[in-house]
Structure 1
């Protein structure tokens, strides 16, 4: 994997574009500068790696638009050393952004092909999240509660398991809805039974797979 001056220059341009689109958290922007997005894409897309586009990554899945990744990450209000559960490892790019921001990441991927591929790239970059092949709807109760939970696929509803595994005071960011568009939703857990919800408009994600991994 090669990261040239040209790649670094394109990342700087992308960061300015993200800033213009409203991303304000400098830690998020610094993470985008540190993680080479082209490592997560097929070589055929290398020149477009730093444009604000989504790309197919295999198994019917995509790597999200950089703006979507940045927006979701900013909504999490991450603090160093927090414990974060990610549902949908995908390409591993979002996972790497989280790791770069100094949080402890637990990530679940439903597609075995992607789970194996992303693990290789993430580890080559030197990040050490806990990666699992399994059912995102079930979360990871063994390591709960989590300070933050991020869902990177379109969920038809909010899984109860994720709410249960969220720490009181914690934040869940999840795109909710079936079909082509989902509503980006931020949920804050006020108590074991009390939650607040904010909505942030339409986004487009691949659907969250329902069947338990075998």
Structure 2
């Protein structure tokens, strides 16, 4: 990035307005999630030419066929995870790194994996410059990161055709996975809680549209 990290009055005001919109219109209730979104400077994830788009409640292209997720989607998924300080969280699909920063602001210990090398390198450099320190991995996120398991929470930020069994086995008992599941056009947001070594509870929620999860255990 060529620009300096300058968070001026205009961007702070736009971020505050976005938080109000998520709370009052989108009905995001978790104050900690809203506070994290109010703190992470989303415009830095955009080319400076498009800073005026950064605090609109929309997804936006970041290259390599991927997007930075709509703020509502980030808030919705994060709220479902119910992050607690010190939770060990696996994030499937680093992308821009914006969602990663939200998780870190909530006190999670984040393991994030990205299959696109350009996005991986960009996010690793950029988040480090911003002062964020997740654990970065390059590879097939549809397989999770077995060597670092188990996890308290798993967040999948791309649409999957099914819930990968290999990921479920990386959850701690009592842990929760949030994953969009469906076809390539739309997905249901699904939460899966591991209640024992062999048993899981699954709940289907609202409909979303994500870029597809690509990999050995996905599309």
* Residue in structure 1 matching 2:19, options 15, 32, 38: 15
2:184/2:211 contact within 8 Å kept: no
* Residue in structure 1 matching 2:170, options 165, 184, 203: 165
1-side partners of 2:188 and 2:129: how far apart? 34
Q: Secondary structure at the match of 1:170?
A: strand
Q: How many residues end up aligned between the 2 structures? A: 212
Residue equivalent to 1:174: 179
Q: Which runs of 5+ in 2 are unaligned?
A: none
User: Shift in Å at residue 121 of structure 1?
Assistant: 1.7
Compute the TM-score of the two structures, normalised by the length of structure 1. Answer: 0.97
User: Shift in Å at residue 44 of structure 1?
Assistant: 2.4
* Counterpart check, 1:99 vs 2:107: no
User: Shift in Å at residue 208 of structure 1?
Assistant: 0.5
1:39/1:121 contact within 8 Å kept: no
Residue equivalent to 1:63: 68
* Counterpart check, 1:114 vs 2:113: no
1-side partners of 2:216 and 2:63: how far apart? 19
Structure 1 residue ranges (4+ consecutive) displaced by more than 4 angstroms after TM superposition:
none
Residue equivalent to 1:85: 90
Q: Secondary structure at the match of 2:72?
A: helix
Deviations 1:31-73 (A, max 9, x none): 0111000111122221010010100000000111000000000
Q: Secondary structure at the match of 2:113?
A: strand
Deviations 1:4-24 (A, max 9, x none): 111011000000000021111
Q: Secondary structure at the match of 1:157?
A: coil
2:152/2:172 contact within 8 Å kept: yes
* Residue in structure 2 matching 1:136, options 120, 133, 141: 141
2:157/2:179 contact within 8 Å kept: yes
User: Shift in Å at residue 204 of structure 1?
Assistant: 0.8
2-side partners of 1:95 and 1:169: how far apart? 22
2-side partners of 1:138 and 1:210: how far apart? 8
2:92/2:156 contact within 8 Å kept: yes
Q: Secondary structure at the match of 2:202?
A: strand
1-side partners of 2:203 and 2:136: how far apart? 29
User: Shift in Å at residue 211 of structure 1?
Assistant: 4.8
2-side partners of 1:63 and 1:199: how far apart? 24
2-side partners of 1:111 and 1:178: how far apart? 21
* Counterpart check, 1:149 vs 2:154: yes
1-side partners of 2:114 and 2:13: how far apart? 31
Please give the root-mean-square deviation of Cα atoms over the aligned residues, in Å: 1.0
Q: Which runs of 5+ in 1 are unaligned?
A: none
1-side partners of 2:45 and 2:185: how far apart? 24
